[in-house]
Amino acid sequence: MSLFERANRIKEFLAEKIDYVPEAAIVLGSGLGEFSNEIQTDDVLHYKDIEGFPVSTVKGHAGKLIFGTVSGKKIVAMSGRFHLYEGYSTDDVTLPVRVFQLMGIKNYIVTNASGAVNITYRPGDLMIMNDHIGFFCPSVLTGNNDERFGTRFPSMSEAYNKDLIRIAECAAENIDINTQKGVYCYCKGPMFETPAEIRAARALGADAVGMSTVPEVVAAVHGNMRVLGISCITNMAAGILNQPLTHAEVMETGKAVEKKFSLFMKEIISLL
């Protein structure tokens, strides 16, 4: 079955349960799943109960699609996402965004945890993504192009929508939090990077590194969606501090900024 057919079947399954087009689809990254408590829920669907949907394997990724209201706006949130390092295909990783596209959702808001490459950043900072480096990421658009999704050679000149970046900046100001704005560099994972890789990423212009987001963003831009990316800096990247990185550290910082992140996301949604 083609990716289009898979995504379309799921869209039709969801249409039987949900009779509105959400204003935004929001992907909740590592340790940021708590935002789901802020949603006045209409319906929660576990990935395992959606035929054709992949199932998440990472600790801290719940695996459910939550439809409901935040700040008076209808949204759908993905609590738990799929990473290429788990062994999922590029089709599996981009399936949810294709479903959202076919549902007619215009705004794709993606969050993630990342390591700071920029040495002026600090764990707990929230970074508005203004671009990414995807050289190290397999292209999710390889193979025959399905014109029903988008054009063969999509522009990535403005992958992160300027209006949404402005909204995020306004939201940060309204709730009086500082944010960073920078470039996210995809690294394959699941191992953390080496100090030499981090120096290379810095030389290339990266401010943060992480193991997700870029595959989905490429599909969303291909599908003509407006993308906003918010990255939670959970740690200084490899080699900056004289200590090894752990997933526990990533989860701990994610947990510590949950409140700030939730507030920020709610304010962003209210301004959409």
Would residue 113 show up in a list of annotated catalytic residues for this protein?
yes
64 versus 83: smaller Cβ distance to ligand HPA: 83
Work out how close the CB of 180 gets to ligand HPA at its nearest, in angstroms, rounded to a whole number: 15
Choice among 83, 112, 201, 236 that is catalytic: 83
Would residue 85 show up in a list of annotated catalytic residues for this protein?
yes
Q: How far is CA 215 from CA 74, 82, 159, 233, 272, in A?
A: 25, 10, 12, 19, 24
CA pair distance 111, 187, nearest whole angstrom = 16
Q: What angle do CA 15, 17, 19 make, to 5 degrees?
A: 60
Residues that bind ligand HPA (CB under 6 A): 113-115, 187, 192-193, 209-211, 234-235, 237, 245, 250
Would residue 173 show up in a list of annotated catalytic residues for this protein?
no
Packing angle of the helix pair 247-256, 258-271 (nearest 10 deg): 60
Structure tokens at 50: 């959606």
Place of tokens 């190290």: 136
Would residue 132 show up in a list of annotated catalytic residues for this protein?
no
Work out how close the CB of 244 gets to ligand HPA at its nearest, in angstroms, rounded to a whole number: 11
Structure tokens at 213: 């987001």
Work out how close the CB of 222 gets to ligand HPA at its nearest, in angstroms, rounded to a whole number: 24
Would residue 144 show up in a list of annotated catalytic residues for this protein?
no
Choice among 62, 156, 169, 247 that is catalytic: 247
107 versus 234: smaller Cβ distance to ligand HPA: 234
Would residue 157 show up in a list of annotated catalytic residues for this protein?
no
Residues 6+ away with beta carbon under 8 Å from 86: 56, 57, 58, 190
Q: Which residue is nearest to ligand HPA (CB)?
A: 115
Question: Which residues are designated catalytic?
Answer: 30, 61, 83, 85-86, 113, 211-212, 235, 247
